[in-house]
Each structure stands twice: as structure tokens, then as C-alpha cells.
């Protein structure tokens, strides 16, 4: 049965962020009035505090919980404590308060970083518990994974309608391009564009380029989350991906081609590669709520690069 979102009051935590801004747009296009979409901002409503979680869920029908502390490998290595603590407390308090406030549905956004370091490829949801995650992102991945445990436990004990989605690495316009905390695609795009602007002869890229990744265009992910909110009501976690895999070496060649950077690529092998391979089995999302990613990777990259060029200053 589809849940009709039209007259629902929706708490969209993280709605001001990269992914959240696209979900906000989709909900608005569906005709949901702005007054029914509540987006708490951390400066005023800090979700690490239980009393704030208590306040924001009152009279809410649906919670889509995206608020999180996130970053690329470097950020994860420098801030493991914050990433663990902030993500786990925000999620744990918010879900508990949502249950107490009799929220009808809680949509928790997890992460691919919850998977074991050496998960058989393609990653199937049933393999999520068979090993420790890759060390650089384990505190973040495990904090988010506890929300899956909480979801399943609350469904079992209280009949609470909570679902857990596992998006793969996202990319697209409005991504975070800050060198301190960006993910791999924005980081590489910025390096190429900066090098072109500064007429640098080379760029330096972390690792040896052998690791592989899957990337999902942010708007596709936002559509999947809204579709799951409407149509999915089970305890099993669901991968959200594009069903593709590309090595970092091939990725940088593609970004170099689209940006027009003609200099040398130097690999800094003293820096980690991160998880060796990432590619999801995406059949469950298709079977359960008909989600299939639409955006062609090269086209999505070109849109992201165009966006960055227009917003870099």
C-alpha cells in the first residue's frame, strides 16, 4: 500500500544539505505545502540534544532522517570520534522520540560505509553483518549501522514503522567541495579545475587508483528515498545504488576529459585507498519499490562539473 504524502507533516532532518535539498524539491513538486515540510537547522535545533529531538517530532507524521556529520576519507581519519558520537546520538534520540510521539513512519538514511571491508561484490544486503568495515570509515559506518539495529528492534518490540536505506557514494550539483571534508568526486573535480585556473602542471591524487567505487546521482537517490517512504514497510535494509563500478583511475581520467585538464596525474601512495571495492546489488530496491537509477554517469559528472564551475567563487 502506498503511503499518501500529500497531507502528511514531514520532518526532513538534514533537509538543508546536499541530498536533503533534492528531497525537499521533490516533496515540494508533489504539492506538499512548505508549512508541512519541517527542516531543523543545527544552529537552532541541534539534534545531538535529546530535548531538541523531543521538540521537533511533536505533531509529525513522517521523519526522513538525513542529518549527519559526513566527509571523505581524510575527514573520517581526522574526526572518527565526532563522526561516531554525533551520528549515533542524533539517530538514537530522534528515533526514540519519534516512537514516543507516535510518528507514523521513520526513514533512516544509512550508508554503504556500514558494509564489511571485504564484502563479496556486488554487495548484497544480507552480507552486511559478516565483517568489520574498512578502518578509515568504520566509526561513521558503524554509528549509522546502529540505526538499523534500532529500527529492527523497534519494529519488533513496538511495531514501529521504521525503514533503513543504504545509499552508495553520491555525487551531483550542490555537493560539498571543501578540501577539508569533500568526497572523492568533488575533490577530484576541484583539483582539476583549480589546476587549470592556476596553470599547474600536475595534480596529486590519494592512493594508487586501484580501488573501485559505485556512484549514484544525488537526484536519483532523492527519488529513491521518496519512493521508499511511500511504498516500503519492512525491516530489511535496502541498497540504493546505480549498479555500476568504476576504478578511481578510470574516474580521474573521465574527470580530466570532461574538465579539459591536460597536466600530469601523480598518485600519492602514502595515502589510503579506502575500501578496496564498492558495488551494490540493487535488485531489492527495484523489486520492493520499483527504483532504478536513471542518470548516465558521464552526463551526471558533466552536470556536476558545470555546477562547480558556475559556483566556485
Ligand X SMILES: NC(=O)c1ccc[n+]([C@@H]2O[C@H](COP(=O)([O-])OP(=O)(O)OC[C@H]3O[C@@H](n4cnc5c(N)ncnc54)[C@H](OP(=O)(O)O)[C@@H]3O)[C@@H](O)[C@H]2O)c1
Question: Rounded to the nearest whole angstrom, what is the least distance from the CB of residue 238 to ligand X in the complex?
Answer: 13
Question: Rounded to the nearest whole angstrom, what is the least distance from the CB of residue 30 to ligand X in the complex?
Answer: 20
Q: Under the criterion CB under 6 A, does residue 169 sit at the interface with ligand X?
A: yes
Q: How would you classify the pairing of strands 246-247 and 212-213?
A: antiparallel
Residue 231 corresponds to which cell in the numbers above?
A: 511504498
Distance CA 261, CA 182 (A): 20
Q: Under the criterion CB under 6 A, does residue 167 sit at the interface with ligand X?
A: yes
Q: Which neighbouring-strand residues pair with 107?
A: 64, 163
Nearer to ligand X, 68 or 226 (CB): 68
Distance CA 103, CA 14 (A): 18
Which of these is catalytic: 140, 154, 232, 308?
Answer: 140
Question: Rounded to the nearest whole angstrom, what is the least distance from the CB of residue 259 to ligand X in the complex?
Answer: 20
Q: Which residue has the cell 600530469?
A: 264
Distance CA 243, CA 224 (A): 14
Q: How many CB atoms lie within 10 A of CB 116?
A: 18
Question: Rounded to the nearest whole angstrom, what is the least distance from the CB of residue 148 to ligand X in the complex?
Answer: 13
- 96 CB-contact burial (10 Å; exposed 0-12 / middle 13-18 / buried 19+): middle
Question: Rounded to the nearest whole angstrom, what is the least distance from the CB of residue 166 to ligand X in the complex?
Answer: 8
**Binding letters toward ligand X, positions 45-74, x by CB under 6 A:** -xxx-----------------xxxxx----
**Binding letters toward ligand X, positions 134-153, x by CB under 6 A:** --------------------
Residue in 11, 18, 24, 241 binding ligand X, rule: CB under 6 A: 18
Assess contact for 127 and 120: CB atoms under 8 A.
yes
Q: How many CB atoms lie within 10 A of CB 309?
A: 13
Q: Under the criterion CB under 6 A, does residue 17 sit at the interface with ligand X?
A: yes
Element (H, E) at 27: helix 18-29
Question: Rounded to the nearest whole angstrom, what is the least distance from the CB of residue 170 to ligand X in the complex?
Answer: 4
Assess contact for 215 and 185: CB atoms under 8 A.
yes
Residue in 19, 138, 226, 252 binding ligand X, rule: CB under 6 A: 19
- State the DSSP string of 160-174: --EEEEEE-EEE-TT
Nearer to ligand X, 40 or 207 (CB): 40
Measured CA to CA in angstroms, residue 39 lies from 44, 60, 110, 231, 241 at distances of 11, 12, 19, 22, 25
Nearer to ligand X, 9 or 48 (CB): 48
Q: Under the criterion CB under 6 A, does residue 116 sit at the interface with ligand X?
A: no
Q: Is 140 a catalytic residue?
A: yes
- Ranges within 27-46 binding ligand X (CB under 6 A): 40-42, 46
Q: Under the criterion CB under 6 A, does residue 170 sit at the interface with ligand X?
A: yes
Chain residues in the site for ligand X (CB under 6 A): 13-14, 16-20, 40-42, 46-48, 66-70, 90, 109, 111, 167, 169-170, 176, 183
Catalytic residue list: 140
Amino acid at each position: 500500500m502506498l503511503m499518501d504524502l500529500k497531507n502528511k507533516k514531514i520532518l526532513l532532518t538534514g533537509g538543508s544539505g546536499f541530498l536533503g535539498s533534492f528531497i525537499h524539491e521533490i516533496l515540494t513538486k508533489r504539492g506538499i505545502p512548505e508549512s508541512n515540510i519541517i527542516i531543523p537547522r543545527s544552529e537552532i535545533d541541534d539534534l545531538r540534544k535529546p530535548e531538541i529531538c523531543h521538540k521537533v517530532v511533536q505533531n509529525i507524521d513522517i521523519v526522513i532522517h538525513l542529518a549527519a556529520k559526513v566527509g571523505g576519507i581524510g575527514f573520517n581519519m581526522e574526526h572518527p570520534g565526532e563522526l561516531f558520537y554525533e551520528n549515533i546520538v542524533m539517530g538514537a534520540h530522534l528515533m526514540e522520540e519519534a516512537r514516543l510521539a507516535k510518528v507514523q513512519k521513520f526513514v533512516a538514511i544509512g550508508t554503504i560505509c556500514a558494509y564489511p571491508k571485504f564484502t563479496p561484490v556486488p554487495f548484497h544486503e544480507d552480507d552486511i553483518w559478516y565483517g568489520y568495515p574498512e578502518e578509515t570509515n568504520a566509526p561513521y559506518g558503524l554509528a549509522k549501522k546502529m540505526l538499523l539495529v534500532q529500527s529492527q528492534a523497534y519494529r519488533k518490540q513496538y511495531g514501529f514503522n521504521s525503514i533503513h536505506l543504504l545509499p552508495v557514494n553520491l555525487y551531483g550539483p550542490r555537493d560539498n567541495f571543501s578540501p577539508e571534508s569533500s568526497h572523492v568526486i568533488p575533490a577530484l573535480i576541484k583539483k582539476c579545475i583549480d589546476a587549470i585556473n592556476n596553470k599547474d602542471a600536475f595534480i596529486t591524487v590519494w592512493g594508487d587508483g586501484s580501488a573501485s567505487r559505485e556512484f549514484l546521482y544525488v537526484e536519483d537517490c532523492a527519488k529513491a528515498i521518496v519512493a521508499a517512504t511511500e511504498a516500503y514497510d519492512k525491516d530489511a535494509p535496502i541498497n540504493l545504488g546505480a549498479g555500476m563500478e568504476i576504478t578511481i583511475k578510470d574516474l580521474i581520467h573521465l574527470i580530466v576529459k570532461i574538465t579539459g585538464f591536460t597536466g600530469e596525474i601523480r598518485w600519492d601512495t602514502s595515502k589510503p585507498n579506502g575500501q578496496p571495492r564498492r558495488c551494490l546489488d540493487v535488485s531489492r530496491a527495484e523489486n520492493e519499490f520499483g527504483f532504478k537509477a536513471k542518470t548516465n554517469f558521464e552526463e551526471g559528472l558533466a552536470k556536476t562539473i558545470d555546477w562547480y564551475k558556475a559556483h566556485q567563487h
